Structure 1
Amino acid sequence: MKNLKLTLGLLALITAFVACDNKKEKEAQKLIGEYTTYVDSINALNKEESAKEWAAIQTEQENKKIQAESAVTVVENKTAAQQEIDDATIKFETYKMEVEKSQAQMHKEQLRKSLFKDNLVGEDLTFAWVNKDNILNVYESFVETVQNNKDSYSREDWDEIKLLYEALDTRKNTVEKEGLSTSDNLKIAALKIKFAPMYNVNRVGAKAEENSEAKE
């Protein structure tokens, strides 16, 4: 009788351990599943929309990944669980690169709109809409906008600004042949003199700041 009680006690103890292990396994698999499901849900989103909320998305991804990787220690098939997490992470990082491209494109478009007052700037940078009657206003707006925002521009912004400025200058060469007045031409020349040192000084400053941040 005593042996029977001992045996039953051991069986009960083993059953409790198994039940506990099964519960931990289920909880761990749930955390891993939540991570992979989250990545799949983000991957299905429009990249332009994700770009607007990317900081929050990445924070949530990092938190869920930490929880999932902690759960690997208690699952039975650790190799398969870790592979599942790794596959989801690769999928997220691939999506992240696409979002970063989208963010860069959106930023470039916003910069161009600010410099040219929402006038369309095509990828060919021909500035076909600029003519002898509005080119002075275009230069004035461009230089004034750069002046007002020079402290906030990154090195990449300054490179884009220089690209646009040179394209506008190319358009000016065409407009000069179409009857640009001497008065407007002289005013544009003065604006160009104002822009050149502003670009050189601030572009160097932005580059130095970028290098300093990289070292940190």
Structure 2
Amino acid sequence: MKNISLLSGLAVIALGFTSCKDEKQEKAQKTIDSYVSYVDSIKNVKADDLKADWKDVEAEYDRRVTDAQVALADIKDNKADIEKINTSKVKYEEFRNEMVKVLAPPAPSPKQQLRNALFGEGKIGDDMSFAWVNAKNIHSVYQQFVHTVENNKDSYSREDWDEIKLMYEALDSRKNTVEKEGLTSSDNRKIAGLKLKFAPMYTLNRMGAKSKETAEAKK
């Protein structure tokens, strides 16, 4: 009777261990399946619709993939599950690459690129506001403008020269205001020298660009 009782006790303990192992493995399987489902659910959403919440999506993904990889240790024969996780990783990376393109700011137009070169990144937008130009920095603004034009004069198209002229006239208009706000005589003379340099450079090179475009059009 004692032996029977002992065997019965051992059987109960063994059953308990088996039950715990089964529960652990079942929980691990659910964790992995949850990760796979999460990736599939993301891929079914349009990239544009996830823009605002993308940081949260990435944080949730990192948590789930980490949990799934840890869960592999609790599954005895886990080759199939490893394959499932790796497949989902590839799916996620492909979708993530799409999101990078969606989240990237659009490339500036050729006109905006020219304005950025002449005045600095984002200084002049569609509103053409020169309010940031003042008596202290206007000389350096003219310097950057004229030197940039001089360095790139051979590459500008006729349309580029028209845009340059438009920006130059807007800057001159701002100078009229700045002169009343404390522009020094020294800076005024330096700006006058830059303007003398710009005027013939603009006239000659715009004519050259126009002649070149006319000649190419006749070919």
Normalising by the smaller structure, the TM-score range is 0.5 to 0.7
Paired residue for 2:203? none
Question: Displacement, 1:141?
Answer: 3.0
Q: Taking structure 1 as reference, are residues 19 and 169 closer, same or farther at Cα in structure 2, changes over 3 Å only?
A: same
Aligned residue pair count: 144
Q: Which runs of 4+ in 1 moved over 6 A?
A: none
The answer to whether the Cα contact below 8 Å between 1:47 and 1:98 also exists between their aligned partners in 2 is yes
1:49 aligns with 2:52: no
Question: Displacement, 1:54?
Answer: 1.1
Partner Cα separation in structure 2 for residue 79 and residue 145 of structure 1: 65
TM-score by length of 2: 0.54
AA in 2 matched with 1:187: E
The answer to whether the Cα contact below 8 Å between 2:35 and 2:65 also exists between their aligned partners in 1 is yes
> Structure 2: which 5+ residue stretches go unaligned?
113-123, 134-147, 175-193, 195-219
1:141 aligns with 2:127: yes
TM-score by length of 1: 0.55
Q: Taking structure 1 as reference, are residues 144 and 80 closer, same or farther at Cα in structure 2, changes over 3 Å only?
A: farther
Q: Taking structure 1 as reference, are residues 3 and 85 closer, same or farther at Cα in structure 2, changes over 3 Å only?
A: same
Asked which structure has the greater CA Rg, the reply is: 2
The answer to whether the Cα contact below 8 Å between 2:31 and 2:71 also exists between their aligned partners in 1 is yes
1:38 aligns with 2:38: yes
Give runs of aligned pairs for residues 151-166 of structure 1, distance below 5 A: none
The answer to whether the Cα contact below 8 Å between 1:139 and 1:188 also exists between their aligned partners in 2 is no
Paired residue for 1:90? 90
Cα shift readout 1:60-102 (whole Å, capped 9, x = no counterpart)? 0001111111111111222222221111111111100001011
**Alpha carbon RMSD of aligned pairs, Å?**
3.7
The answer to whether the Cα contact below 8 Å between 2:111 and 2:163 also exists between their aligned partners in 1 is no
Paired residue for 1:74? 74
